Amino acid sequence: MVFAVVVTIDVRPETIDEFTAGLHANAVATRAEPGCLRFDVLRTTDDPHRFVLYELYADEDAFFVGHRQAPHYPAWVTLCERCVPPGGRRNVYAVPAFPDEMTAHD
Amino acid sequence: MVFAVVVTIDVRPETIDEFTAGLHANAVATRAEPGCLRFDVLRTTDDPHRFVLYELYADEDAFFVGHRQAPHYPAWVTLCERCVPPGGRRNVYAVPAFPDEMTAHD
């Protein structure tokens, strides 16, 4: 079943340029993973230092194994260690409530 | 610019069947709005009574005007009043961090 990860990230303001560049590289690399179906990168309207990632994977393993063992993943972890304060990155894991119609727009 | 709404909803457990049916109707109707680009309905893996909606609209007006003035919207508000405790529905508003590449998968 499709597996969704919604990530909220609060970035140290003084690292925003470094973080944004690294986030972009991570998005491009993750979208190229065979198990990644979608990777949207958003910024909240009331706080420009808060990002939201909406990630869809073919299944849970595509995230926990495929994504986290991808060659580009360690650079992302290192980036977050530099740019995100403790507790500033929060993952929510979810699955489709109506699996037969994940969205009418696919 | 594309406008994203990420909604987290905690549902009173005793109303879960009513809420799920109403949420489904709301999803189908919202997807039919001309300004709605995507409406994914998810349930978190660690709490089956917590839903996450990932909604994309053509622009901010498509949500705040088009969606909220749609004929089906009042039924959704009424449903949430019955099934969601105070503070149990939280909206996050966001825009693409990299507008030229909302996702590589579109």
Indicate whether A103 pLDDT > 80. Answer: no
Min Cα separation A67/chain B (Å): 16
Q: Is the ipTM of this complex over 0.85?
A: yes
CA A100 to chain CA centroid, nearest Å: 24
B98 shares contact with chain A (CB less than 8 Å): yes
In this prediction, residue A106 carries a pLDDT of: 46
Is B85 part of a structural domain of the chain? yes
What is the structure's pLDDT at A104? 47
* pLDDT of res. B62: 97
B13 CB burial (10 A radius; 0-12, 13-18, 19+) = exposed
Pairing outcome for strands A36-44 and B89-96 = antiparallel
Range of the domain at A65: 13-94
* Domain presence at residue B24: yes
| Mean pLDDT of chain A, nearest integer | 94
The pLDDT score that the predictor gives to residue A99 is 85
Identify whether B76 is part of a domain: yes
Which of B4, B43, B98 is closest, CB to CB, to A97?
B43
Residue B49 inside a domain? The answer is: yes
- Is A4 part of a structural domain of the chain? no
What pLDDT does A63 receive? 97
Helices (H), chain A: 16-31, 60-61, 73-83
pLDDT at A39: 95
Q: How many domains does chain A have?
A: 1
Q: Flag whether A5 is in a domain.
A: no
- Asked whether residue A99 is assigned to any structural domain, the reply reads no
- Measured between CB atoms, which of A28, A42, A94 is closest to B52? A94
Task: Please judge whether B96 and A51 are an interchain contact, meaning their C-beta atoms are less than 8 angstroms apart.
Answer: no
Q: For residues A84 and A9, is the Cβ–Cβ distance under 8 A?
A: yes
Question: Is the pLDDT confidence value at B104 over 80?
Answer: no
Percent of chain A with pLDDT over 70: 95
Q: Cβ separation of B52 and A95 shorter than 8 Å?
A: no
Mean pLDDT score, B66-82: 96
* Residue B103, pLDDT score: 61
Q: Which residue of B has its CA nearest to A39?
A: B103
pLDDT tens-place string over residues B3-56? 999 999 999 999 999 999 999 999 999 999 999 999 999 999 999 999 999 999
CATH code for the domain in which residue A46 is found: 3.30.70.100
CB contact under 8 A, B31 and A96: no
Strands (E) located in chain A: 3-10, 36-44, 50-57, 89-96
Number of A/B CB contacts below 8 angstroms equals: 96
Q: Do B94 and A24 touch (CB under 8 A)?
A: no
Q: Where are the alpha helices (DSSP H) in chain B?
A: 16-31, 60-61, 73-83
Distance CA A88, CA A68 (A): 19
**CB contact, 8 Å: A1 with chain B?**
no
Backbone angles phi, psi at B78, to 5 degrees: -60, -40
A28-52: pLDDT as tens digits: 999 999 999 999 999 999 999 999 9
The answer to whether position B100 is within a domain reads no
